[in-house]
Structure 1
Amino acid sequence: MSFAPNRSTVPVEPTPPTPPPPSPRGGPQQGGWPAPGPYTSPGMPYTAGPYAGGPGAPGAPGAPGIGPYGQPPRRTTNGLAVGSLVSGIVCCLPPLGLILGLIALPQIKKRDQEGKGLAVAGIVLSAVSCLLLVIGLATGGIGEFWGGFKEGVDEASRSKSPLSLRTGQCFSDPGKLEEYTTDVTIVDCDRPHDGEVTGVFKVTGFDKWPGEDPLDKIAEKRCETINGAYALDTWAVPKDVWLYYYLPSSQSWRLGDRTVTCAFATDKKPFSGSVRSDGTTLTDDQESFLKALNPIETVSYREPEEDPDEDFTANKVWATELLAAINTAHADLGQRSWPADSTAAVAALRKELGAASKQWLKLATAADADAYWEAYDPAWEALPEDLGADARTALDLTGAPPAGEGTSA
């Protein structure tokens, strides 16, 4: 009895397939087997599929780009287009906006950028601005506009607090020199103005706000001296221009303000021209002459308001002060050699002062009010009313008091 082998238990090895015949070197592979690698042919460039940078791949020339995560990249805005629009809007340099816009348009097309609308708008606005500029230059409108603009800027820059005023500055006061002023406008002294600063000083001697009355007394006395030294040629000061000053307020005092600003000012019609006549503007002869004569004028304005019948002592004191001023002027004029063309006029004035001194001596030594009244008119008549107009003219000073005013009361 014979048995056949059990096929379920005996493995049978499969017959291997017959390999295909080899292809010629470099030829196509049969059976769909892949090529061994990218550098299969010596001297051939590396090529790969479309997502490895080959022809037709995203980002390659002629192919659409792909941004991060497969999204298209954002297009940039042309900077020249933005500059063109800004220049066209502000109208500062219209030709610049026009040029920038014309340059931007071809750049936007070539670089596939955004901003075409901006460039076109800039070109249009700049073209309009250029047209307006040409019309303005032809008609003079630009000059008027620029002049008004410049004047406005200048005026704004000249607006100052009274505390910031300095000697020699002329100013206009919008409040017309009212009691409280927060700002003034500095102007050229050749232009109409309300006042001219003669000097400043600091108040001392007070630990706390002293009140307005004490400050008024200090300011009036100090500013009178400052103004007198600033405008020695008093006849050159217009008729309605008087002593004026700005005081610290109680509020500014708490902030440390102690400054008093002295000035010549008017609350009526503004005046033009500087009233300054001191050592910076006068010759030695002019300064000496005015310093000799001015005390007579200053004291004459201090005559007491009360008659000698009411206050005899005050009137005698005043007459004595004026007599001293006359005698001092007489002596000072005789101690100096004057320019040839003014010598005779100064000598004549000096002679008149000598005669006036005798009459004012009688007034100053009057025994009572009746004697005072008796000597009063002769004293004023002896004092030269023009205080040496001829001598002043010869020395190139103002030859007449403002509005024909004299020194007499």
Structure 2
Amino acid sequence: MEPSQPTPPTPPPPGGPQPGGWPAPGPYTSPGMPYAAGPHGGPPGAPGAVPYGMPPRRSTNGLAIGSLVSGIVCCLPPLGLILGLVALPQIRRKDQAGKGFAVAGIALSAVSCLLLVVGLASGAFGSAWNGFQKGVDEASRSRTPYSLRAGQCFSDDSKEEEYATDVKVVDCARPHDGEVTGDFKVTGFDKWPGDDPIDRIAQTRCETINSSYALDTWKVPKDVWTYYYLPSSQSWRRGDRTVTCALATEKAPFSGSLRSDSTSLTLDQEQFLLSLNPVEKLGYEEPEEDPDEDFEANRKWAGEMLAAIDSARAGVRDHDWPGTSKAALAALGKELDTASKRWGRLAAAADADAYWEAYDAAWDALPEDLGAEARTALGLTDTPPAGEGAQA
């Protein structure tokens, strides 16, 4: 007998259950959704779901990336080498990406280590570092006059130019062209006034600032004078209103700080200089015309000298000087008493002839050194600068 063909099963009604011998169709997804269930059975789009038919993405080893970065920047060559060597077995064990990063990092770091060893052995690395430090130092000391501050010493190679644009700050112990004494802001102008008005203001203000900064005038070299940096019309438009005052020379550089004010003087030293400096200053301001040409100007000046001498007498007499300087200050006080009488006659002269008769006696009575022995006793500069014209 021929085997009979099995009778096909009766199809189930639509929507009914499938008989055990036929697989159910599936899995089905919603129309237009190419994702199946996630690997943990979650719904499509849940955490851990992956695109249908694609394997999960491999993570990149972090140490491999660190090795490559360290090798590229060459900052710590051994670090890049170590990170790469540690990363390779981790990549194999965890089936991670990044092997190329690790290999490249190891290679670059090895080259950097070799160059470092050669540089240290030959001294080239030290020379390069010294050159870098020198460049940084030069850049930090090079600046515009606008940025200078009181107490800084500087060299200026632009003295022949109309406006200085680049000065170099140096140690005051080294030779330098000038020392900054202070600064001030120009006020009272709505627009650029021109060089001359600012120059006149700067001359007066900077002389006052310099006098307060360098009270010990004998410490100032004879070729050092009042100096200042003015705003230019261009810097004025940018808001620059600063005048920088200095004691500077256009001749041979000098060494050492000229500062002698309340920050560096004792109270006794400051008292002495504040008492005697006005007499010294006025001595340089005698009128150029003699009494026969301008009698009134000369008599007025003699009266100002008398007032300064009397003020110095009071300053010397009324101060309690330290024991080692008492004798020298007492002797200076007696000289000032005599000078006051002689200058009183000069200031009271009735005419040019009487002025000339009292003139030499007045100068002879005034101590020429204005108390060199007292200066020595107080620890001040006891030798005036060589030549005339040494003033702040």
Normalised TM-score (structure 2): 0.74
1:257 to 2:244 alignment: no
Secondary structure of the corresponding residue to residue 358 of structure 1: helix
Equivalent residue number for residue 195 of structure 1: 178
Identify which of 303, 306, 316 aligns with 1:333. 316
- Separation in 1 of the partners of 2:389 and 2:233? 40
Q: Which amino acid aligns with 1:126?
A: S
Measure how far apart 1:359 and its partner are: 3.3
Identify which of 110, 114, 129 aligns with 1:124. 110
Q: CA RMSD in A?
A: 3.7
Equivalent residue number for residue 238 of structure 1: 221
1:391 to 2:377 alignment: no
1:217 to 2:197 alignment: no
Assess, with a 3 A threshold, how the Cα gap between structure 1 residues 311 and 211 changes in structure 2: closer, same or farther. farther
Alignment of structure 1 residues 70-85 onto 2, 5 Å: 80=63, 83-84=66-67
Q: Which amino acid aligns with 2:214?
A: A
Q: Which amino acid aligns with 1:157?
A: S
Measure how far apart 1:264 and its partner are: 1.5
Provide Cα deviations, 1:140-181, integer angstroms capped at 9, x if missing partner.
Answer: x65554444234324423444333333333333342384312
Task: State the structure with bigger RCO (CA 8 A, min sep 6), 1 or 2.
Answer: 2
Contact 1:333 1:350 in 2 (8 A): yes
1:98 to 2:84 alignment: no
Contact 1:81 1:119 in 2 (8 A): yes
Equivalent residue number for residue 35 of structure 2: none
The runs of 5 or more residues in structure 2 that have no matched partner are 7-20, 25-49
Equivalent residue number for residue 347 of structure 1: 330
- Separation in 1 of the partners of 2:168 and 2:64? 44
Identify which of 132, 155, 158 aligns with 1:172. 155
1:17 to 2:4 alignment: yes
Contact 2:142 2:166 in 1 (8 A): yes
Larger-Rg structure: 1
Assess, with a 3 A threshold, how the Cα gap between structure 1 residues 89 and 375 changes in structure 2: closer, same or farther. farther
- Separation in 2 of the partners of 1:230 and 1:170? 14
Normalised TM-score (structure 1): 0.72
Measure how far apart 1:94 and its partner are: 3.0
Alignment of structure 1 residues 26-105 onto 2, 5 Å: 80=63, 83-84=66-67, 86-88=69-71, 90-104=73-87
- Separation in 1 of the partners of 2:161 and 2:344? 43
Q: Which amino acid aligns with 1:381?
A: D
1:277 to 2:260 alignment: yes
Q: Which amino acid aligns with 1:130?
A: L
Assess, with a 3 A threshold, how the Cα gap between structure 1 residues 132 and 405 changes in structure 2: closer, same or farther. farther
Equivalent residue number for residue 134 of structure 1: 120
Decide which moves more: 297-306 or 75-84.
Answer: 75-84
Assess, with a 3 A threshold, how the Cα gap between structure 1 residues 221 and 116 changes in structure 2: closer, same or farther. closer
Measure how far apart 1:211 and its partner are: 2.1
Provide Cα deviations, 1:74-98, integer angstroms capped at 9, x if missing partner.
Answer: 9988665564455445443233233
Assess, with a 3 A threshold, how the Cα gap between structure 1 residues 188 and 371 changes in structure 2: closer, same or farther. same
Provide Cα deviations, 1:21-42, integer angstroms capped at 9, x if missing partner.
Answer: xxxxxxxxxxxxxx9779xxxx
1:323 to 2:306 alignment: yes
Contact 1:75 1:114 in 2 (8 A): no
Secondary structure of the corresponding residue to residue 208 of structure 1: coil
Secondary structure of the corresponding residue to residue 100 of structure 2: coil
Measure how far apart 1:185 and its partner are: 3.4
- Separation in 1 of the partners of 2:262 and 2:190? 36
Assess, with a 3 A threshold, how the Cα gap between structure 1 residues 208 and 92 changes in structure 2: closer, same or farther. same
Secondary structure of the corresponding residue to residue 294 of structure 1: helix
Equivalent residue number for residue 293 of structure 1: 276
- Separation in 1 of the partners of 2:340 and 2:211? 24
Decide which moves more: 94-103 or 75-84.
Answer: 75-84
Secondary structure of the corresponding residue to residue 282 of structure 1: coil
The runs of 5 or more residues in structure 1 that have no matched partner are 1-14, 20-34, 39-66
Assess, with a 3 A threshold, how the Cα gap between structure 1 residues 116 and 280 changes in structure 2: closer, same or farther. closer
Measure how far apart 1:392 and its partner are: 0.9
- Separation in 2 of the partners of 1:79 and 1:192? 57
Assess, with a 3 A threshold, how the Cα gap between structure 1 residues 284 and 123 changes in structure 2: closer, same or farther. closer
